[in-house]
């Protein structure tokens, strides 16, 4: 079960998201408050549901296309047809950004200052100085039960089992 904590300045809301279909209340909550120039910093381990949340947020905003993970493209932009001010949702996944200067190449500060776009950012921990400088940042922290994986034992190869008892 995922627990999400959404904060902006002193405003702090907690949501429990039992399954991947239960993001809607949180998505609606944020969609009704998100303004042009806002950034949403999405924290949580791999597989926490960050991209899934972006999909629900996009739907709540009226975006027609379902966002996919921008891990390789770094950034994707979605048009919001139905709102007066907020016209674009930018989705960035900073997972692959090792050098913080790489985020500058995306011109996000310019994109966010035209009064029409808001940003959702996965892995804000990879660009801490950039996010610290932004004026209006929501923080969404998604935490889940520890994920345990059961791995099948490797089938014995021609060389036989290695490292076995």
Using CB under 5 A, list all residues that contact Mg ion.
50-51, 69
By CB under 6 A, is residue 47 in contact with ligand ADP? yes
Q: Which residue sits closest to ligand ADP, CB atoms considered?
A: 49
Whole-number Cα distances in Å, 31 to 9, 47, 138: 17, 22, 12
Alpha carbon distance 143, 46 (integer Å): 10
Q: What is the DSSP string of 80-114?
A: --S-SS--EEEEEEGGG--SGGGGGGGTHHHHHTS
By CB under 6 A, is residue 44 in contact with ligand ADP? yes
17 binds, among Mg ion, ligand ADP, none (CB under 5 to 8 A by kind): ligand ADP
Mask for 77-116, x = binds ligand ADP (CB under 6 A): ----------------------------------------
Closest alpha carbon to 40 in 132, 121, 95: 121
Contact residues: ligand ADP, CB under 6 A? 2, 17, 19-20, 22, 44, 46-52, 122
């Amino acid at each position: 079960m995922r627990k999400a904590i959404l904060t902006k300045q002193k405003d702090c809301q907690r949501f429990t998201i039992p399954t991947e279909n239960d993001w809607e209340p949180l998505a609606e909550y944020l969609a009704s408050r998100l303004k042009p120039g806002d950034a949403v910093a999405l924290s949580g381990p791999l597989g926490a549901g960050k991209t899934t949340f972006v999909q629900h947020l996009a739907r709540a905003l009226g975006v027609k296309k379902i966002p996919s993970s921008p891990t390789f493209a770094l950034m994707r932009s979605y048009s919001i047809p139905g709102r007066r001010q907020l016209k674009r949702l930018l989705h960035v996944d900073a997972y692959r950004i090792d050098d913080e200067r790489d985020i500058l190449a995306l011109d996000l500060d310019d994109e966010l200052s035209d009064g029409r776009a808001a940003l959702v950012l996965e892995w804000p921990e990879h660009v801490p100085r950039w996010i610290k400088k932004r004026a209006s940042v929501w923080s969404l922290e998604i935490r889940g039960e520890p994920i345990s994986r059961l791995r099948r034992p490797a089938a014995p190869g021609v060389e036989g089992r290695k490292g076995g008892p």
